[in-house]
Structure 1
Amino acid sequence: MSAVVGIFYLDGRPVAEAELGEMLESLAHRGPDGYGVWRDGATGLGHRMLWTTPESLHERLPLADSTGKLAITADARIDNRDELIDLLEIADRPVEQIGDSRLILAAYEKWGERCVERLLGDFAFAIWDDRKQSLFCARDPLGVKHFYYYYSPGRAFVFASEIKALLRLPFVPRRLNELSVAYHLLPVYDDKENTFYQEILRLPASHSMSVGRNGIRLERSWSPDLSKELRLRSNEEYRDAFREVFTEAVRCRLRSAFPVGSMLSGGLDSSSITCVAGRLLADDGRGPLHTFSAIWPSIAAMSPKIDERPFMESVVAMGGFDAHYIHADDISPLAEWSRIYWHEDNTLSAPNMYMDWAIFKSAHEHGARVLLGGTDGDTVVSYGYEDLAAFARRGRWLKLLRESAALSKNMPKRVHNFKQLVWKMGFKPIIPGYVKRGLRVLQGKSRVPDKDSALPAYSRRRPINAEFARRIRLEERLTDLYHNPKSSKMTPRDAHWNDISSGDWAYILESFEKAGAAHRLEIRHPFFDRRLIEFCISLPPGQRLQNGYTRSILRRAMEG
């Protein structure tokens, strides 16, 4: 976790070092270990360094190549280092002294803008290419690292890791974006570009951008192959393959020159990450792994059902951990609220940020600079309910009935009612659209469902002044945001990827990253590993939901 800033004056005026300095001063909390600027006429890049990986101890950014024609600033952790070093034939220094930013720059030299496809990890970077007189910017597949920018055609393009740095420049406007206010009130999170400031935008996750004097070109840089279905010979092979990919997703996020921590809630996701990370560190002689858990003893005393400490303690009891417990019931939800909002540059819809803030504070106090998080295994691995519709679509009706019956028995809850599982999750989703429209007509309803049906359920109530909504054309904007003419043809894999890449997770990751940065922590998310996402999306029906248990493949992989 570091900070990047940059200025490209499209009108040709020179960048002043003081301008970059102003921007970097506002981001001092993100990088206490290094400060650097690079300027060449109308272009300037800046960087603040937080050492995390062993290689980062040797990095000095911004970095220019030997010709001086290319320069990079980056907040990046590249996970396929060995592969890239071999492909790029970098042999002029020991591997441990090759920084991740140098790998990105060399990849750009070799593959140009297609280099992003080759990068695994979390990154936000900008490369000045003097030969093209353009700035190339890119962001990782899930948007773990952040990139904000302001663009004034013919005048200036500026970017930074946080909005507050952009606002240090006097020509960047400070105008409220009323559409973002409306989205917050609904709430709606699927606008992945707008911010609360007019004309200050996000570079969306999985996108790259080329900026020149003739304008901006925005492109999607990566998306999973949604046509691929993994075919292995047995359930055991699927289990072992998942375990291998998941273990590697954790392993590469343990690369650190400092103590590593893991958030441990007692749930399946954080427990799985913590167990694998603890074992890997022990095997390398780098333990113990610090675990950080929020607990509510006073509330648990009143309602023991909510107490997850037994699950946390069962993980810690395996050994190799240094456990730290944060008594969240002693902390006010309003604690340090002004400092939190200063760091976030945004509103907060989650009322539990105070709890995460306290965890990050404890991790910092115990010397950690890397903290593993369990976001969002539920979505990446998936509960597997979509498998029921797949069974119905493929004519495996007996399998549908058996899995529905087993799920109703093994995990009893209202949504696991046998009839609802068979009908609502099994057969109903595969009914053709024209049949559904005909049934609606026979029932005296409109052929087309209410337009609100495309919105998330929590957004359908409108606590917004009608005149305000009309003035900002809210209904039109929502229709544009959620209307998908191909939705009737969407496959389960399409839906799975849409859930993973939704604006909800972009918003959550953004909040987490900034709260971590406030405590000089890099938050790393093994479930948001690109390879793991590709693997989980490619799984055939029957691997996520199996023998009446949701998220079966993760459960089976973690056994023993």
Structure 2
Amino acid sequence: MGTIFGIYSADNQVNKEYCMNMLERIKTYSFDKLQAWQREKIFLGCGIQYDTPESCLEEMPQRYEASGLSITADAIIDNRQQLLEQFQIPKNLWNETTDSRLILLAYEKWQEDSPKYLVGDFSFAIWDEKKQQLFCARDHVGKRTLYYYHVNNTFAFSTIINPLLTITDMRLNERWLTDYLAVDGILHVTECNETPYEDIFQLPPAYAMIVSSKGIIKNHYWKPLENIKELKLNSDEEYDKAFREVFFEAVNCRLRSFKGVGIMLSGGLDSSSIACVAARKLADKNEILKGYSSIPIKEYENSLSKYYIPNESEYIKSISDDYDNILVNYCRNEDMNSYTNIDEFINILEQPYKTFQNLFWYNSFAEKAYEEGCRVLLNGQSGNSTISYGDFIVHAKTLFNKGKFITLRREIDALSKKVKMPKRKIEKIILKVVIPYNIRKIISSKIKHRNYDKFSSVMVSKNMIKKWNVGQRFDMEGYNQPIERYYDLYQNHKYIVDQLAFSHIGTIETRISLANKIAIRDPSRDKRVIEFCLSLPSEQFVRNGEQRLLIRRALKGIIPDKIRLNTARRGIQSADWVQRLKPYWKNIRKELECLVSDDGLIKKYIDIGKVQEALKQIDEVLDEENEESLRRLFIVLIFYKFLKAYERG
């Protein structure tokens, strides 16, 4: 994989200065191969980082004179065998056939529908000389990013934003930045077309577009919610077998590596299941799987309830005990914390970020894995909504909405026995869940949240909220609301394929991947896994009070029972993030005080009074009691540093 970039000029020859400037910005990254190609109206480039065996054979951009097609691609295609057979490529040439060649053959056969037939992580651009058009596409779940600029007759694109800023003036997108600050939680975006910069856009996940002299035509090519057919099988054993077939293929096809394979490992079901399946496959070839797990600093003092597990090493050890080809690196990262690498991560991500509690160790995993010879790094980022899905509240609402009240009664009884919670307490929770949201909202507004301020927990300027009509837009989209909204299984499906979530995660993964020259891959986000999970009835995820039922049942004998049957405790990573910052608090506070006194751009976006109030709450002592105030201050501090970087140009 790597980076693609290019320019299309609809009516003139491409500006050579633009081409050279883009190429210079691209060179700030490390590639195994960097090439560019120009011909009249079109300029294409590609920086390749070797990850799969086939990637070492890539020559991109690649032009095919007979067809008049040229391609640049940032891609790993996972359904290779299916495509190789479809295109009748002789078996003796399979290992020589690159992923970009398969993409081009797919385009020749299916034209603008070609992305539908590809499985994997990709963004690509194909120049069709005969049609005089550029065809661009991004994969189904947005694992790879694709940004573009289009003004007058100049269209430019890139995997990253920075090269595009050589073509247009670097102007901040006020609306994007205001929403970033205004939305509570770790989400960076409220829509997935815009970016922090004006005139720089991104192609959303599962979208393709045609660019020609007539303009841009976009196509949303994957809409899985429109074609869900419930899978009806005769027994749990049949569901388990069907799940294993899909899931095992999703893992195994991601083990193609130019060198070694690693995995970000926790003691939970998602990464553990991927690790165990991968280890079995790698063992067939006498290969190892290198695991990387974050554990607290030695000085960590645990003040959490017994339900939470801040150090999951005893659970992870049960995996390495069962699979001797899994070598685990327990990473304390004693010299790292949420403060030490802010400027570096702003530069890598090209935007402010809120994932500061875990980004430093997440990046360190990629760095260490590369140093230890891995070129593919697995994770289970999306597992909670796919392979290990199963939430009792969702199941209860599904049963209620279907009128299955007797079954719901039995489920409440079963859960009560399983978790040793009084039935009355569960019934009270379920009653709240099944009352329609609008009714609960009206009641709440008159009793508990009479004067609710949806922006009380964020530090964005009131002027910017008003200027960009944030309150009304957030009400329409459901952000920062006073009460929680509950969904049944079918309503919840839209969040499993939420483009905002895909885009949020994809932005981070693409950048960390590029910065460390390693492909970050998630079998739990495979489109086939997603489609399979969308097809399952609710009782395959929850039954008899047992949550996350499918994976516990289907992977019996594969995942250690210590993890598979654990329902009493839950791992929590980055539990020590506040304690890591204690030695740095004076420096952090000093920077925040500089922010308060800065008369620059920051005062346009931030409510300085709220910053001062949070600083007073923490004062000189930093501890877990001040965690929420610290979290808000960090969001502002990182945003401040982003603005200072912008002001420096």
Structures share fold, TM-score greater than 0.5: yes
Q: Give the corresponding residue for 1:398.
A: 406
Q: Deviations over 1:296-353 (max 9, x none)?
A: 1525564584221111111111111121121134423222332221111011101221
Distance 1:104 1:211 in 2: 18
Distance 2:345 2:551 in 1: 34
Distance 2:444 2:117 in 1: 54
Q: Deviations over 1:407-432 (max 9, x none)?
A: 3443468999411453234x435xxx
1:361 aligns with 2:367: yes
Letter in 2 for 1:86: E
Q: How does 1:206-245 map to 2 (within 5 A)?
A: 206-226=206-226, 227-245=228-246
Distance 2:249 2:125 in 1: 28
User: Would you say the 8 A contact 2:116–2:222 is kept in 1?
Assistant: yes
Q: Aligned match of 2:489 in 487, 492, 511?
A: 492
SS at match of 2:166: coil
1:156 aligns with 2:154: yes
State the shift of 1:444 in Å: 11
Distance 1:262 1:520 in 2: 15
State the shift of 1:392 in Å: 2.1
Distance 2:332 2:487 in 1: 45
Cα gap change, 1:462 to 1:295, in 2 (>3 Å): closer
Structure 2 unmatched runs, 5+: 480-484, 558-649
Q: Aligned match of 1:332 in 309, 334, 337?
A: 337
State the shift of 1:499 in Å: 3.8
Q: Deviations over 1:457-491 (max 9, x none)?
A: 9x7745332222222333354356559xxxx9997
- Higher mean alpha-carbon deviation, 512-521 vs 402-411, is at 402-411
Letter in 2 for 1:6: G
Cα gap change, 1:411 to 1:127, in 2 (>3 Å): farther
Q: Give the corresponding residue for 2:379.
A: 373
> What TM-score, normalized by structure 2, do the two folds share?
0.77
Q: Give the corresponding residue for 1:428.
A: 435
User: Would you say the 8 A contact 1:254–1:260 is kept in 2?
Assistant: yes
- Higher mean alpha-carbon deviation, 341-350 vs 25-34, is at 25-34
Q: Give the corresponding residue for 1:247.
A: 248
SS at match of 2:201: strand
Distance 1:128 1:238 in 2: 44
Distance 1:541 1:92 in 2: 42
Q: Give the corresponding residue for 2:279.
A: 278
Q: Give the corresponding residue for 1:44.
A: 43
Distance 1:179 1:87 in 2: 46
Identity across aligned pairs (percent)? 33
Q: Deviations over 1:226-267 (max 9, x none)?
A: 531110101121122112211111001111121000111111
Q: Deviations over 1:494-518 (max 9, x none)?
A: 4223343241342123112212221
1:387 aligns with 2:398: no
Q: Deviations over 1:31-61 (max 9, x none)?
A: 5211211222111110011111111121101
- Higher mean alpha-carbon deviation, 311-320 vs 143-152, is at 311-320
- Higher mean alpha-carbon deviation, 177-186 vs 382-391, is at 382-391
Letter in 2 for 1:549: E
Letter in 1 for 2:321: A
Cα gap change, 1:506 to 1:412, in 2 (>3 Å): farther
Distance 1:420 1:320 in 2: 48
Cα gap change, 1:468 to 1:500, in 2 (>3 Å): same
User: Would you say the 8 A contact 1:148–1:161 is kept in 2?
Assistant: yes
SS at match of 1:464: coil
Q: Give the corresponding residue for 1:65.
A: 64
Letter in 1 for 2:398: A
Q: Give the corresponding residue for 2:55.
A: 56
Cα gap change, 1:92 to 1:290, in 2 (>3 Å): closer
Letter in 1 for 2:145: H
Q: How does 1:71-82 map to 2 (within 5 A)?
A: 71-82=70-81
Cα gap change, 1:86 to 1:410, in 2 (>3 Å): same
1:146 aligns with 2:145: yes
Q: Deviations over 1:40-85 (max 9, x none)?
A: 2111110011111111121101112242511110111111111112
1:196 aligns with 2:204: no
Q: Give the corresponding residue for 1:471.
A: 467
Distance 1:373 1:29 in 2: 27
Q: Give the corresponding residue for 1:181.
A: 177
User: Would you say the 8 A contact 2:489–2:538 is kept in 1?
Assistant: no
Q: Aligned match of 1:316 in 315, 320, 329?
A: 320
Q: Give the corresponding residue for 2:89.
A: 90
1:12 aligns with 2:17: no
Q: Give the corresponding residue for 2:257.
A: 256
Q: Deviations over 1:125-150 (max 9, x none)?
A: 01111122111111011100010111
Distance 2:466 2:51 in 1: 49
Distance 1:39 1:407 in 2: 65
SS at match of 2:407: helix
Distance 2:373 2:254 in 1: 17
Distance 1:53 1:165 in 2: 26
Q: Give the corresponding residue for 1:103.
A: 102
Distance 1:489 1:348 in 2: 28
Structure 1 unmatched runs, 5+: none
Cα gap change, 1:186 to 1:128, in 2 (>3 Å): same
Cα gap change, 1:259 to 1:393, in 2 (>3 Å): same
Distance 1:5 1:503 in 2: 24
Distance 1:423 1:513 in 2: 42
Q: Aligned match of 2:552 in 552, 555, 558?
A: 555
SS at match of 1:36: strand
Q: Deviations over 1:342-375 (max 9, x none)?
A: 1110111012211112211211211111100110
Cα gap change, 1:81 to 1:463, in 2 (>3 Å): same
User: Would you say the 8 A contact 2:225–2:494 is kept in 1?
Assistant: no
Q: Give the corresponding residue for 2:560.
A: none
User: Would you say the 8 A contact 2:210–2:218 is kept in 1?
Assistant: yes
Distance 1:346 1:272 in 2: 33
Letter in 1 for 2:251: V
- Higher mean alpha-carbon deviation, 42-51 vs 378-387, is at 378-387
Letter in 2 for 1:361: E
- Higher mean alpha-carbon deviation, 196-205 vs 179-188, is at 179-188
State the shift of 1:555 in Å: 1.4
User: Would you say the 8 A contact 1:29–1:518 is kept in 2?
Assistant: no
SS at match of 2:292: strand
SS at match of 1:298: coil
Letter in 2 for 1:428: I
Distance 1:183 1:135 in 2: 32
Cα gap change, 1:37 to 1:498, in 2 (>3 Å): same
SS at match of 1:228: coil
Letter in 1 for 2:386: V
Distance 1:559 1:460 in 2: 47
